[in-house]
Homo-oligomer: A and B are copies of this chain.
Amino acid sequence: MPKVLVPESQKTDDKMRAFAETVFASETKDENIRDEISMFDVADDCPIIHNEMAHHLHVDDDVEKRKRHQRCRTTAKAAAGSQAAATSVPVEVDMPTYLEVPDFQRVAIIGDYAAGVTMDDFELSCRGLYRALTIREKYMRLAYQRFPRTASQYLRDIEGETFKAEDQVQPVFTPPPKNGEDPFDTADLPKNLGYIARMKDGLIYVYNDAAAADKHQPKDLPCPDYNTFIDDMNFLIALIAQGPTKTYTHRRLKFLMSKFNVHEMLNEMEEMKELKMNPHRDFYNCRKVDTHIHAAACMNQKHLLRFIKKSYRVDADRVVHNLKGKEVTMKELFESLHLHPYDLTVDSLDVHAGRQTFQRFDKFNAKYNPVGASELRDLYLKTENHIGGEYFATIIKEVAGDLEEARYQYAEPRLSIYGCNTNEWIKLSIFGFYDIFKGRNFVPHFGKMLENIFLPVFQATIDPQSNPELSIFLRHVTGFDSVDDESKHSGHMFSTKSPKPEAWDIVKNPSYTYYIYYMYANIAVLNQLRRQRGMNTFTFRPHCGEAGAVTHLLAAFMTADNISHGLNLKKSPVLQYLYFLAQIPIAMSPLSNNSLFLEYAKNPLLEFHKKGLVVSLSTDDPMQFHYTKEPLMEEYAIAAQVFKLSTCDMCEISRSSVIQSALSHEEKVHFLGQDYLKEGPEGNDIRKTNVAQIRMAYRYETLCYELNLIKEGLKTE
């Protein structure tokens, strides 16, 4: 034992003992008080206590008791006013049991619906919101993109018209090959129409023949009118800046938030009970789609590292690269970088985003270069290189294999196209891995040259046989993205006076909205043509609202089937409310945001979800952001932990991801149920989705209530 020096004055004496006991006693007292609180009271963050349910599934006893206590429960009538919304609850005709919505406690607001704003302001807001919805409806239909049937029904109601089911459009996605079907078979490609496609003013026109083209007499394919589009845009810009509408939507959104909180408090246990009674299906085996993932970063960092090492063991002497005009082997390439793959680690690979990348998108882009060497990016993560993208394709195949093994998880990888030359599509199409993923969605990058991007696609649509590889590839392309650092600003204002794309030769970049318009317009025409030929169509699903101006989200409201990110909806209550009303799907990636733009706990995902915006979870770039072998599960797990999501929340988000995705109709029927296109509880098959019918009913009734308010606001005129 070491000698311990204890100064005389410090020896524990009776005085000290007494003091210690006093301290201890006060601690004890504190404890008792705290204990009392937790005995008879509930802390703020403990959501339920009154509504607890017994642990067993079979609590008939409890149900009996509950009924006896139901003295005067005011079950509010479903609030929706349209015929579509079920005002009479017990429909017992031909309805399988799972479609029934169990009894739940509804939040009804009795009294003045426009409380908090003047009637004039209320009417003004409703008029504006109504027109905004019709604008989106128009542009969605034109491009074969989605607009919800419920909203359309309300719009027709307002106009005094009858909703016609045939007005609804849906994009067409190619189903997976059936058993025995050869996905590469080119025999059934449609024949050549002999048309001519040419670009004029940034838009591709289709002509009967060269003579018609020279005289600019295009075929009659509906396309958006430039001036109307700018008018519509200006109207929307004015709307989102209009004081009364800002106040009104802000109040509605606050109400939606509170309403969900009340719903959750009252019905959480009932929702959970539904899920517990639902056999075979839980969060793990309900389908989820990674709705936003870049193929070039779809593997995690460890996977890429292993692949590089493995490729070196096998292919060290293979010629893989062209170094300043000289063909070099892999060994020579690594030597020129003063590297040996054997020594590489995740640290030296340096592709993971860290604290360094936060608010530094410029640095983030450099993270795509393994070991900071663009040569290695070319070799391993690109399609255009000396080995024809073989390594990249192999890595993606491995990721696909992991997904297939995990089951229930799907991904829609995005590929880059820069518009530098017309050969890019060819290179992509002979890349040859498009039958691997169950969900495929090769969405190109946008560049300056619209022709390079769209002309080959139009030509392959007119004469598929002329380029069978590209035609087959396009069958499995489901949409176009537009990716850029949104935080950079061009300063350009898109207006009728903007120069046409062909005349755009100044150094300054055109604005985001300008890009978006031309992407959308070409996709719309292309989809018209493809639809006429019975081919699959493309959706427009840009990166939007990750950073930058709120007007980006406005442009996407007009043109996009769905968007990625959407963080900046926080900044505009009018747009946020419109995204809710039009149920525009948003693929959110909080882990990506956490490394680039916004700390995890501040991410609006939870807020959007509670308010009823349609959100899904996606990974964006597993190579840069994730740690585990299952990036999508990591994304869900972290959201569940940090935001304390319930199983019902997680399954609802999973379901939204499948709906938002470009999985084919056949696959969606299989994963979500026969009636998935119907809105509200009718469209939900709990046996497949594990989403409580109570939740579905809550969402549907809430949406109908808000749409009905607009109808009421227009009626008073």
Contacts and interface: CB of A to CB of B under 8 A. Distances in A.
A636 interface: yes
Interface in A215-250: 231-235, 237-238, 241
Given A48-B355, A272-B347, A637-B627, A1 B159 contact: no
A31 B642 contact: no
Interface string A473-496: 000000000000001110101010
Contact of A161 (B2, B21, B128): B2
B131 A4 contact: yes
A46 B353 CA distance: 13
A144 B633 CA distance: 44
Contact of A2 (B54, B131, B159, B371): B159
A622 B624 CA distance: 26
A12 B128 CA distance: 12
A276 B282 CA distance: 42
A23 B241 contact: yes
A551 B28 CA distance: 10
Contact of A32 (B2, B491, B599): B491
Interface stretch (A55-63, A191-199, A676-684): A55-63
Nearest to A340: B279
Interface stretch (A133-141, A253-261, A654-662, A667-675): A133-141
Interface in A325-382: 338-339, 342-348, 350, 354-356, 358-360, 366, 369, 371-373
Interface in A357-409: 358-360, 366, 369, 371-373
A642 B642 contact: yes
A371 B366 CA distance: 50
A287 to B, nearest CB: 15
Contacts of A121: none
Contacts of A42: 359
Q: How often does this chain occur in the complex, in copies?
A: 2
A54 B601 CA distance: 31
A238 B23 contact: yes
Interface in A280-325: 280-284, 302, 305
A17 B234 contact: yes
Contacts of A238: 16, 19-20, 23
A55 B377 CA distance: 14
A359 B44 CA distance: 10
A60 B279 CA distance: 64
A372 B46 contact: no
Contacts of A630: 628-629
B302 A141 contact: no
Contact of A137 (B2, B237, B268, B599): B2
B138 A1 contact: yes
Contacts of A32: 489, 491
Contacts of A600: 641-642
Contacts of A281: 345
Nearest to A714: B5
A266 interface: no
A110 interface: no
A693 to B, nearest CB: 14
Contacts of A589: none
A391 to B, nearest CB: 21
A155 interface: yes
A48 B357 CA distance: 10
A3 B350 CA distance: 56
Contacts of A354: 644, 646-647
A107 interface: no
A231 B488 CA distance: 67
B156 A359 contact: no
A275 interface: yes
Q: Which of A5, A56, A344, A491 has the most CB of B within 10 A?
A: A5
Given A23-B241, A159-B2, A489-B28, A350 B276 contact: yes
B640 A627 contact: yes
A131 B11 CA distance: 10
A158 interface: yes
